[in-house]
Amino acid sequence: EAGVTQSPTHLIKTRGQQATLRCSPISGHTSVYWYQQALGLGLQFLLWYDEGEERNRGNFPPRFSGRQFPNYSSELNVNALELEDSALYLCASSSWGHTNSPLHFGNGTRLTVT
């Protein structure tokens, strides 16, 4: 069974640009979560999608957005990049409907903003 896959592995952008990160969940998983892991700040919840809809978002500005496609893959978009957006962005998937099923994480996309 293929795990959660994320692309690209690394992404380098300049301040003000837009970044698009992609995630494919484990087959059969309908929920996708995005987390930001910035140096010194630990893992911060960003967004949660299920069945194509945004279910909840963390304490991040609106320039962090995303969507989930009919095949349950997901995209995270970060507009007007700032230097502090440099971080490892982790995607996770789980089976909605199973109480607190563990999240399965991908390897992440390391975004560097210069």
Partner 1 sequence: AQKVTQAQTEISVVEKEDVTLDCVYETRDTTYYLFWYKQPPSGELVFLIRRNSFDEQNEISGRYSWNFQKSTSSFNFTITASQVVDSAVYFCALSPPHSGGGADGLTFGKGTHLIIQP
d(CA 21, CA 16): 16
Question: Does residue 91 contact residue 8 with C-beta atoms inside 8 Å?
Answer: no
Please tell me whether residue 88 adopts helix, strand or coil conformation.
strand
Q: Which residues, 82 to 101, sit near partner 1 by CB under 8 A?
A: 88, 90, 92, 94-101
CB of 32 vs partner 1, minimal distance in Å: 10
Q: Does 108 bind partner 1 (CB under 8 A)?
A: yes
58 binds partner 1 (CB under 8 A): yes
* Alpha-carbon dihedral sign for residues 49, 73, 8, 3: positive
Q: Is 45 in the site for partner 1 (CB under 8 A)?
A: yes
Examine residue 110 and tell whether it contacts partner 1 (CB under 8 A). yes
For the bound state, the minimum distance from the C-beta of residue 41 to partner 1, rounded and expressed in Å, comes to 8
Beta strand 10-13 pairing with 109-113: parallel
Beta bridge partners of 24: 5
Enumerate binding residues for partner 1 (CB under 8 A): 3, 31, 33, 35, 42-43, 45, 48, 50, 55-56, 58, 88, 90, 92, 94-108, 110
